[in-house]
Each structure stands twice: as C-alpha cells, then as structure tokens.
C-alpha cells in the first residue's frame, strides 16, 4: 500500500519526558559516584592497615636487632678480654709454654674475628630487611595518594559526562511522525544518537542501506530501498514486518517514519540522517517493551 505525499513534519521542542529522564541519569551517576567513594574508602582503610603492619614489623625488627647486637657485643667484649689475658700470659712465659699460650691466643683471636664477621653480616641483613619494609610502607602511602587522585579524575569525568549529556539532550527535538503520532526524541547525528542510547528509553539499531535486489534486515524488520533523491533530501522505501509490506514514499531527512507491529503498543520509528546516491543511513528506534496490542 502507498502513502500520499506527506506534509512536512512539524518540529516541536520536546518537554515533559526530558526532565525526569535527566533526573534519573543524575541519580544513577550519583549512585555510581557513591559506590566509587565506598570502594576508595575501603582501599584507603586496607592500605592504612598495611602501612601500620609494616611499621609494626619495622619496630619488631629494631627490637630484635637491638637484642642481637647487645648479645654480640657482650660476646665480643668477653673474647677481647680473654685475648688480652692470653697475650699477657704468653708474654710472661718462655719455651713450649709460650708457644702454647700464643697458639691459644691466636685461637681466641680467630674466634673473635669470626664473631665480628657474623655480627656484621647480621647487621647488614637486618638493614636490608628494614629497607625493604620501609620501601613497602612508602609504596603503600604512594598508592593511597594515587587512588585519591584517581577519585578526583573520575569525579571530573562524571561531571563532564553528565554536563555533556544534558547539553546534548537539551538540543534534541521531537516531531510528529508520518502516522500522526508524536515521536520520541530524534537524533540527527552520531553524537545525538549516542545520547539517546544513554537515555535507554528505546532500542536503537543503526543501518546503511543501498539499492539491492532483496530487502535488508534492520533489527527485527526488513527494509527495501526503492529510490534516493539527494538534491531534494527525499527517499522511498518499503518496510516489511508482520508479513506485510508498507511503502513509505518521498520521506524527508530526519523525518520519523512510523509503522506498527503486532507485538508493540508503540510505533517503530525509522529515521534517515543521511541521503546519498543509492544509499541511505540512519537508525530504527523500537519500543523496549514488546507485547501484543489489543
């Protein structure tokens, strides 16, 4: 069946639906930001606990080192005393007795050197461990700062996205479709279509249709391009749905072309945003809720 030549669509500014939809988006964004703050606070708490644990480990290492150092110092002092006594005794003896005394003194000196080397190794090992723990503590503190910076960046991004979305939505318009039914908001380019998708009121399927011998699927309908007139920004198509074919003749750029399906209470809308020679592109908006019409 064919439509008669349509009257140009009357463009009117959309009103009512915009405000509650924007409010819903704002609420969603606020909820998302709140959840992000919760996650950040959890991260801060965990990192603060980690930092406290690291500092506690450093304190314990210092205590252990102090005890070990004190014990080693006493051992060294005792060996030094024994060595001094052995040297004095060796200097007072002669013959074999002196040789034995010198040997004993050398053994004490070797033991002293060994104890001092072990002490130096322990001190070095403890210093290395303390350094590693301090590095972990600094890393944890740095991470907290990075998370705080990330939160600030996300807040800015959310605010910018919300502002951009609201601006885009404010520029959208609603028109009367070719069936005489008031349409939803109409997108005339990719940016506006992205804003409509973000609103989530309807399902949107984009298309590019050239002249072919058979209809082409667009979502759950099929469309056959019959004619394009880029100079006049007009086109003619046939829409195949519910086993029926409807011709939409001499439709204009950005005009909501409406057709009814048995499973939907609201009309589908096809909008062409660009007309070239033998090629049209745009989108089909379909209702979210699909049900049988009475």
Which stretches of the chain are DSSP H helices? 18-92, 95-171, 190-199
DSSP per-residue string spanning 103-138 = HHHHHHHHHHHHHHHHHHHHHHHHHHHHHHHHHHHH
pLDDT score recorded for residue 3: 47
Q: Averaged over 99-106, what is the pLDDT? A: 74
Give residue 282's pLDDT band: very low, low, confident or very high (50, 70, 90). Answer: very high
Using CA atoms, how far residue 196 sits from 65, 101, 168, in Å, is: 67, 100, 9
**DSSP strand pairing (244-252 vs 257-259):** unpaired
Q: How far apart are CA 91 and CA 101, in angstroms?
A: 9
Q: Averaged over 14-34, what is the pLDDT? A: 58
User: pLDDT tens digit string along 121-140?
Assistant: 877 777 787 777 777 767 76
pLDDT of residue 19 exceeding 70: no
User: pLDDT tens digit string along 128-186?
Assistant: 877 777 777 677 667 766 666 766 666 666 566 566 655 655 555 666 666 767 667 88
pLDDT of residue 13 exceeding 50: no
DSSP code for 47: H
Are 138 and 66 a contacting pair, CB within 8 Å? Answer: no
pLDDT score recorded for residue 234: 96
Q: Residues 178, 179, 183, CA angle at the centre, nearest 5°?
A: 75
Give the alpha-carbon dihedral of 240, 242, 244, 245, to 10 degrees. Answer: -20
How many CB atoms are closer than 10 A to CB 108? 20
User: pLDDT tens digit string along 209-267?
Assistant: 999 999 999 998 999 999 999 999 999 999 999 889 999 999 999 999 998 888 888 89
Q: b/e for 211-241, b at 16 or more Cβ within 10 A? A: eeeebeebbebebbbeebeeeeebbbbbbbb
Give the alpha-carbon dihedral of 216, 217, 222, 223, to 10 degrees. Answer: -40
What does pLDDT average to over the chain?
Answer: 76
pLDDT score recorded for residue 281: 96
Q: What is the pTM for the complete model shown? A: 0.47
pLDDT score recorded for residue 133: 72
Give residue 10's pLDDT band: very low, low, confident or very high (50, 70, 90). Answer: very low
Please report how many Cα atoms fall inside a 13 Å half-sphere around the Cα of residue 69, on the Cβ side.
Answer: 12
Please indicate whether residue 107 or residue 275 has the higher confidence score (pLDDT): 275
User: pLDDT tens digit string along 79-101?
Assistant: 778 778 777 777 776 667 767 76
Are 183 and 264 a contacting pair, CB within 8 Å? Answer: no
pLDDT score recorded for residue 285: 93
pLDDT score recorded for residue 2: 44
239 contact partners, CB below 8 Å, separation of at least 6: 221, 222, 223, 245, 246, 247, 248, 257, 259, 270
């Amino acid at each position: 069946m064919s439509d008669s030549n349509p009257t140009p669509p009357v463009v009117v500014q959309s009103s009512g639906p915009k405000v509650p939809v924007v409010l819903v988006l704002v609420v969603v964004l606020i909820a998302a930001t709140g959840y992000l703050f919760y996650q950040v606070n959890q991260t801060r708490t965990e990192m603060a606990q980690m930092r406290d644990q690291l500092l506690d480990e450093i304190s314990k290492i210092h205590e252990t080192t102090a005890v070990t150092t004190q014990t080693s110092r006493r051992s060294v002092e005792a060996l030094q005393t024994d060595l001094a006594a052995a040297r004095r005794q060796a200097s007072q003896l002669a013959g074999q007795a002196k040789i034995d005394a010198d040997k004993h003194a050398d053994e004490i000196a070797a033991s002293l050197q060994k104890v001092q080397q072990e002490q130096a190794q322990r001190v070095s090992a403890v210093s290395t461990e303390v350094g590693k723990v301090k590095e972990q503590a600094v890393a944890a503190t740095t991470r907290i700062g990075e998370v705080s910076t990330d939160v600030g960046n996300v807040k800015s991004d959310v605010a910018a996205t919300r502002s951009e979305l609201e601006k885009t939505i404010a520029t959208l318009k609603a028109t009367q479709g070719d069936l005489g039914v008031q349409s939803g908001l109409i997108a005339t380019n990719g940016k506006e279509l992205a804003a409509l998708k973000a609103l989530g009121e309807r399902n949107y399927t984009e298309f590019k249709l050239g002249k072919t011998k058979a209809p082409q699927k667009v979502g759950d309908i099929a469309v056959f391009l019959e004619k394009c007139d880029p100079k006049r920004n007009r086109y003619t198509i046939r829409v195949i749905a519910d086993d029926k074919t409807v011709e939409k003749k001499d439709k204009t750029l950005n005009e909501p072309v409406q057709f009814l399906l048995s499973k939907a209470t609201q009309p589908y809308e096809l909008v062409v945003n660009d007309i070239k020679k033998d090629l049209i592109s745009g989108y089909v908006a379909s209702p979210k809720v699909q049900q049988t019409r009475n």
